[in-house]
């Protein structure tokens, strides 16, 4: 019996079945998007169409996309903690074999996590696109010094510093929002997708021609109407978007108006405002923007073919 077990273990080891996940390859983006995410959505939700559970498609799709969003954040947090650990190990490195091994293991874990974060991010984006395709709604989710003595700065320590500096640069670059801020707001009952898409396409092209820059849109993250459609437009066009969430607990009923003030702040320097219909909050936004000398484009209703400036 002992021989049989030993043979089995040797066979498993021979064929590499004991590999840890760190040694296994990450699937390609095409596999992550299509064979994993899109097929998962279709397998689960496709069977619910035209049944008594069709109403559950939207919350289930949103739940799937949200799980990936949260997992992406969790792994990114672990990546940051590992970066801090590498910094601490590099700083306290004393030239011993134990210190060297610990540093190399932390670096290996860091590199593995970076690949995992990228893969989960790809899956998360694909899930958001599947949610939008399935429901027609926009998916709106919700270090210390690393110096050490030169005498103890081994190759592993130097590589650790280079790795951290590269990570810091890439993180800062990904956090930048390039372009000209354009505020978008309007009616929560707006349903004409074509008007919003065509209007924002024209505004984007005009700003590109005049200022040689792309736009990024700013909105309050409305889950219905004009802002929801504008968010879908931004995702479809690959345009960045900044969401200003009303802080209801802090400002009460004045929260949406406080958001207007934040979006219009001089340090943010918006280039203009586009309003698709709207209520008192949207009217307040337009009036405050004009008082600051900003251009306000008003699309009064979906029946009009040309927006008024």
How confident is residue 160, by pLDDT bands cut at 50, 70 and 90? low
pLDDT attached to residue 23? 63
Only one residue has tokens 């939700």, namely 45
d(CA 109, CA 252): 45
What is 123-181 written as a DSSP string?
A: HHHHHHHHHHHHHSS------------GGG--HHHHHHHHHHHHHHHHHHHHH---SEE
pLDDT in tens, 74-111: 888 888 888 888 878 777 777 677 777 887 788 888 88
d(CA 123, CA 31): 10
Q: What is the mean pLDDT of the chain?
A: 78
| β-bridge pairing 180-186 and 215-219 | parallel
CB 296 within 8 A of CB 290: yes
Query: Which tokens hold the place of 115?
Result: 């690949």
pLDDT attached to residue 205? 93
pLDDT in tens, 120-148: 888 988 888 888 887 887 777 653 332 33
d(CA 189, CA 123): 31
Sheet containing 215-219: give its strands across. 241-243, 215-219, 180-186, 272-276, 295-299
CB 72 within 8 A of CB 117: yes
SS3 content of the chain, % helix, strand, coil (to 5): 65, 10, 30
Higher local confidence (pLDDT), 178 or 87: 87
d(CA 286, CA 260): 9
pLDDT attached to residue 262? 87
Higher local confidence (pLDDT), 76 or 12: 76
pLDDT in tens, 276-285: 988 888 889 9
Name the pTM for this structure. 0.48
What is 265-276 written as a DSSP string?
A: -TTT---EEEEE
- Tell whether the model's pLDDT for residue 2 goes beyond 80: no
Closest CA to 170 of 119, 118, 104: 118
Higher local confidence (pLDDT), 267 or 272: 272
């Amino acid at each position: 019996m002992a021989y049989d077990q030993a043979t089995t273990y040797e066979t498993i080891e021979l064929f590499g079945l004991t590999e840890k996940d760190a040694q296994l390859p990450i699937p390609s983006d095409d596999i992550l998007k299509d064979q994993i995410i899109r097929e998962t959505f279709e397998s689960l939700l496709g069977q619910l169409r035209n049944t008594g559970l069709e109403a559950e498609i939207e919350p289930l799709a949103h739940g799937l996309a949200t799980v990936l969003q949260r997992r992406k954040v969790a792994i990114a947090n672990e990546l940051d903690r590992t970066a801090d650990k590498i910094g601490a190990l590099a700083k306290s490195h004393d030239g011993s074999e134990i210190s060297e091994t610990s540093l190399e293991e932390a670096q290996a874990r860091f590199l593995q996590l970076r690949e995992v974060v990228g893969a989960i991010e790809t899956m998360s984006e694909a899930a958001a696109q599947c949610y939008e395709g399935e429901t027609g709604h926009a998916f709106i989710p919700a270090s210390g010094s690393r110096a050490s003595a030169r005498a103890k700065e081994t190759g592993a320590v130097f590589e650790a510093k280079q790795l951290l500096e590269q990570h810091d640069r890439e993180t800062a670059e990904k956090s930048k929002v390039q372009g000209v801020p354009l505020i978008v707001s309007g009616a929560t009952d707006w349903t004409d997708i074509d008007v919003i898409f065509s209007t924002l396409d024209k505004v984007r092209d005009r700003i590109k021609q005049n200022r040689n820059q792309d736009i990024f849109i700013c909105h309050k993250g409305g889950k219905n109407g004009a802002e929801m459609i504008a968010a879908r437009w931004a995702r479809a066009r690959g345009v960045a978007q900044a969401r200003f969430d009303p802080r209801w607990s802090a400002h009460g009923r004045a929260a949406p108006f406080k958001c207007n003030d934040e979006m219009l702040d001089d340090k943010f320097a918006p280039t203009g405002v586009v309003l698709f219909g709207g209520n008192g909050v949207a009217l307040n936004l337009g009036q405050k923007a004009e008082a600051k000398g900003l251009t306000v484009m008003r699309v009064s209703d979906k029946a009009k073919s040309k927006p008024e400036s």
